[in-house]
Amino acid sequence: MSQISYLVLDYSKPLESRNALESIRRHAKHDHQIIFLSNGGDQSYVWKLYEDGLIDRLIVNKVNVGLGYGTETLFAVSDTDFSLYFQNDQELIVDLTNDNINYLIETIKNNPSIGAIGLAGIPCGINKYSERAHLIKTSFYNSIPKTHGGCGPFNHLKYNEQAVQEYFDANGLLFMTLATPIVKDCGKYTIRELPDGSIVKMRTDTKAVKWLKSPTKPYMFPEMNEKEWELSISGKWADWTIPESYRAGSFNCWGDIED
């Protein structure tokens, strides 16, 4: 049995996914397997990735079931004691040997207060859980209660990283991050489905957005002025921030598509 399962969730990111998988194959100098879930969207390239030996176990969802269900599926099928969750717009940038991996595993085993180790830097503050690249015990992740009623499309009360953070906080668990990240974020865009059913494409650097599917009614966004509303239905880029009222709930996070 492999020592570690790399879990990679994909949605319409042919170039990013290939780069991510190749980086794992290039730098993972230890026993490992790669479990890859294609979560709807463009899947024309997925079998080529498999044929090229970049995927050990392939799961194909014909429709996008959302970040939550996709993540849970990957952890559910992982048959190794530890799993390394790896977003497909990230790249492993240093060699990981058996000694390196064993050190990280022993760190979690010997420190009951550590729930997971983040490998891509501090995402939003010290000890804040994130579904960026991280190492976690598989059975532990699968045991976290689905307190938010399940997950999936059009369900803004889904099991997501916010719910995991609440579980970590309630149980005094830490999300430890490495001083020097070993995984680099490379994504340029993120597709987000908001609770009202609208879909936005967001630049990861400037945070500017444009709507792929417009909001249904202006009053859903009280923070949006008339000019911003006109931009939201024009399909053009707008310097607009997703409202804090929506950040409090979860929303589906899809993959990258071209402009």
Reported as a single tens digit per residue, the pLDDT across 76-125 is 999 999 999 998 889 999 999 999 999 999 999 999 999 999 999 876 67
Q: Per-residue confidence at 66, pLDDT binned at 50, 70, 90?
A: confident
Burial class (CB in 10 A: 0-12, 13-18, 19+), 212: middle
Locate all alpha helices (DSSP H) within the chain, ordered by sequence. 14-27, 46-51, 66-77, 98-110, 138-143, 161-170, 226-232, 244-247
Q: Percentage helix, strand, coil, to 5, in the chain?
A: 30, 25, 45
How many angstroms separate the Cα of 72 from the Cα of each of 76, 77, 211, 228? 6, 9, 28, 36
pTM reported for the whole predicted model: 0.77
The residue among 157 and 224 whose pLDDT is bigger is 224
Domains of the chain (ranges; CATH) run 4-185 (3.90.550.10), 195-241 (no CATH)
